[in-house]
């Protein structure tokens, strides 16, 4: 192994966005180590990467796993509370990761956040993201915060499962008026931005926003047309939507969409005013190119987490 080549550490290289960040780092010639509790997935990368466990309960070991790294790309977070992992724990774990990076002498952290985090948000996901952003800004480390809206591409979960619903359900539920906006960004655009930020110095906050802005209603209509499955849109309250999502989730053995996610969507938190798009791939172009596979199979969040815990 050529140790003169800079080492970059990525959390969750066998997961979703971490995989794309890792591919881009390897293509740029870096050595990559991942911190993950998921089992290795052979054949995922063109070059070998080092794998270390994500030991939040063992700070010394976590520090050693980060030693020698130039940049840490942090994708770690939880989408919802399950299997005893709460948002409060996710916050504490993230702070331990930042502290371990500082102790290990990591030069810079590129942290993947979310659009519109707020410490005053009633939504745990967005509030927790704001708290860890603040902790990173105050850590004394060199940092870059990347705030993506909804991600799509590859084996994404949310856009794929909207497409799955369009293919399989006779009608689609729209929460409220459906006129709130979202700016989905391709996962490889996020990875490109993350790697670019890793190569810079200085503190930076950047949004990862796709080139197209949709209303939720418009997104369902456009995807329905592309998939040749246009569906009547039925207006429902967020509570009814959450109940329906729970029922469908029960049949699918998954969490389809949480009430908090519905509320975040309805508050327009997946779009940002007055920020230029930084993503290049248009969701509608990508959906047309992938029409044969998009939404054909349901992508389960819980089944992925169960594999990770085996």
Ligand X SMILES: NC(=O)c1ccc[n+]([C@@H]2O[C@H](COP(=O)([O-])OP(=O)(O)OC[C@H]3O[C@@H](n4cnc5c(N)ncnc54)[C@H](OP(=O)(O)O)[C@@H]3O)[C@@H](O)[C@H]2O)c1
Give CA separation, 141 vs 72, 105, 106, 137, 147, in Å.
11, 9, 8, 8, 18
Q: Which of 30, 45, 73, 76 binds ligand X (CB under 6 A)?
A: 76
| C-alpha span between 305 and 309 (Å, rounded) | 6
CB burial string 1-38: b at 16+ within 10 A, e below: eeeeebbbbbbbbbbbbbbbbbbbbbeeebbbbbbbeb
Using the contact rule CB under 6 A, the part of the chain among 24-32, 69-77, 98-106, 282-290 near ligand X is 69-77
Between 148 and 224, CB nearer to ligand X: 148
* Site membership for ligand X, residue 17 (CB under 6 A): yes
Q: Which residues pair with 33 in a beta bridge?
A: 9, 50
* Strand duo 181-182 + 214-215: pairing: antiparallel
| C-alpha span between 7 and 269 (Å, rounded) | 34
* Residue 25, token pair as written in the block: 């780092």
Site for ligand X, residues 157 to 176, rule: CB under 6 A: 158
* Site membership for ligand X, residue 303 (CB under 6 A): no
Give CA separation, 37 vs 84, 152, 266, in Å.
16, 23, 33
In angstroms, give the least distance from the CB of 2 to ligand X. Answer: 26
**Residues near 160 by Cβ (< 8 Å), separated by ≥ 6?**
294, 295, 298, 299
In angstroms, give the least distance from the CB of 232 to ligand X. Answer: 26
Q: Which of 9, 25, 54, 287 binds ligand X (CB under 6 A)?
A: 54
Using the contact rule CB under 6 A, the part of the chain among 23-31, 131-139, 145-153, 170-178 near ligand X is 145-153
Q: Which of 49, 66, 71, 78 binds ligand X (CB under 6 A)?
A: 78
* Site membership for ligand X, residue 44 (CB under 6 A): no
* Site membership for ligand X, residue 38 (CB under 6 A): yes
In angstroms, give the least distance from the CB of 85 to ligand X. Answer: 4
Residue position matching structure tokens 């197209």: 212
| C-alpha span between 281 and 153 (Å, rounded) | 9
* Site membership for ligand X, residue 73 (CB under 6 A): no
* Site membership for ligand X, residue 65 (CB under 6 A): no
Size of residue set near ligand X by CB under 6 A: 24
* Site membership for ligand X, residue 305 (CB under 6 A): yes
Between 59 and 230, CB nearer to ligand X: 59
Between 94 and 215, CB nearer to ligand X: 94
The residues of the shown chain that bind ligand X, judged by CB under 6 A, are: 11-12, 15-18, 36-38, 54, 75-78, 82, 85, 112, 114, 148, 150-151, 158, 305, 308
């Amino acid at each position: 192994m050529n140790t003169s080549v800079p080492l970059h550490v990525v959390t969750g290289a066998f997961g979703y966005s971490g995989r794309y960040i890792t591919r881009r780092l390897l293509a740029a010639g870096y050595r990559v180590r991942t911190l993950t509790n998921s089992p290795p997935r052979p054949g995922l990368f063109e070059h070998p990467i080092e794998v270390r466990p994500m030991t939040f309960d063992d700070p010394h070991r976590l520090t050693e796993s980060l030693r020698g790294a130039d940049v840490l790309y942090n994708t770690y977070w939880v989408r919802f509370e399950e299997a005893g992992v709460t948002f409060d724990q996710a916050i504490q774990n993230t702070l331990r990761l930042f502290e371990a990076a500082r102790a290990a002498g990591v030069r810079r952290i590129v942290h993947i956040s979310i659009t519109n985090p707020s410490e005053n948000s009633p939504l745990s996901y967005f509030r927790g993201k704001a708290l860890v952003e603040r902790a990173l800004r105050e850590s004394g480390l060199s940092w870059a915060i990347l705030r993506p809206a909804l991600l799509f591409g590859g084996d994404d979960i949310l856009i794929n499962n909207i497409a799955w619903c369009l293919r399989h359900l006779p009608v689609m539920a729209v929460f409220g008026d459906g006129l709130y906006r979202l700016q989905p960004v391709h996962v490889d655009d996020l990875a490109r931005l993350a790697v670019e930020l890793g190569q810079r110095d200085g503190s930076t906050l950047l949004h990862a926003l796709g080139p197209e802005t949709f209303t939720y209603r418009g997104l369902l209509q456009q995807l329905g047309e592309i998939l040749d499955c246009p569906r009547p849109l039925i207006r429902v309250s967020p509570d009814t939507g959450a109940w329906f999502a729970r029922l469908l989730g029960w049949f699918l053995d998954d969490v389809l969409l949480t009430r908090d996610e519905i509320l975040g969507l309805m508050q327009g938190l997946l779009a940002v005013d007055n920020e230029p798009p930084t993503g290049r791939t248009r969701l509608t172009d990508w959906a047309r190119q992938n029409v044969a596979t998009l939404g054909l199979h349901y992508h389960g969040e819980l089944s992925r987490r169960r594999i990770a815990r085996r």
